[in-house]
Chain A
Amino acid sequence: MEKQILLDYSGDFRFETIEILLQKVKEQLSHLEVKTGIKKKVVNIMVECLENIYKYTTLDKENSYFNRNFKSKVILKKENKSFIITAGNTILNNNIEPLKEKIDHINNLDKDGLQNLYESIINNGHISDKGGAGLGIVDIALRSGNKLNYDFSPIDHDLSFYELKIKINLL
């Protein structure tokens, strides 16, 4: 089996973009001989990633630095034993620390710990104005079953580029 790029998008993110990219991902996956459950896992994680990018992008617009030409991106690759999703967008430097802490905390939990965290948020968390319940990243970690990789590349005084890399095992 070779490495395959199933989706490689970089650009503007509107709500409609989510729909277009999801259709493309589903179409690409339909040609692969992979268990349906794994394909659904990939699509579900992709949904969370695309919605996250969209939320960050609208936040960017409100903070009026969206026109600085930093495009969001999302890549879906199939490797020998896994799918890899890479999702990237700009982030305010002030927001890096809390996000890092959140992901590190999630990475330190085992499956039961993640499940408990998920249940605590779904039962008690409030839906924010952006529509997020704060569940997305926990949901991604639970579904992927692997540790989340992340990277922050500084752009300037205010901004960095944030990348989240998620691995989904084929078996």
Chain B
Amino acid sequence: MENLILDATPNTPKVLFNPADRVFEIAGESRPENVKDFYGPILKWLDDYLAELTAQGKKDAILLKMYIEYFNSSSAKYILNIAKKMHDFVSVDIPVTIDWCYIEDDEDMKETGEEMERMSKVPFNYLVVE
């Protein structure tokens, strides 16, 4: 499986999905002009990766680090979809943890993480950064 690497821009996050080390990262701001165009390929990549792992019978744990500084409401829907997609991995016994990073006293971001954890049913770690 090819790595998925997207550089950050002022309005889209850095995306670094490296199957070799099983640590995936999404970091930065998420306000793309076209949210479907940006997140569609990422969700597709995760589908393909899940199919590959399932075919190979691999069950190594995956860590997804999310440090999204700002995101707009339409990105929120796609970020939730990514978390739900990670639950598909959990469903076939591939352990997944999501590190939800936020800066101290950003209660909104922490609450958003807690809601996404509840809606996606994937375990989140809450990490204060900076």
Contacts and interface: CB of A to CB of B under 8 A. Distances in A.
Interface of A: 15, 18-19, 35-37, 40-41, 43-44, 47-48, 51, 115, 119, 122-123, 125, 127, 131-133, 135-136, 138-139, 143
B31 A18 contact: yes
Closest 3 CB pairs of A and B: A135-B73, A37-B105, A139-B73
A53 to B, nearest CB: 13
B77 interface: yes
Interface size class of B (residues with CB under 8 A): 20 to 34
10 contacts: A37-B106, A40-B109, A44-B108, A47-B31, A47-B70, A122-B119, A127-B74, A132-B73, A135-B74, A143-B108
A40 B74 contact: no
Contacts, number: 66
Contacts of B104: 36
A123 B77 CA distance: 7
A51 B115 CA distance: 24
A135 B77 contact: yes
Nearest to A128: B74
A136 B71 CA distance: 11
Contacts of A131: 33-36, 74
B2 interface: no
B51 to A, nearest CB: 24
B90 interface: no
Interface in B12-34: 31, 33-34
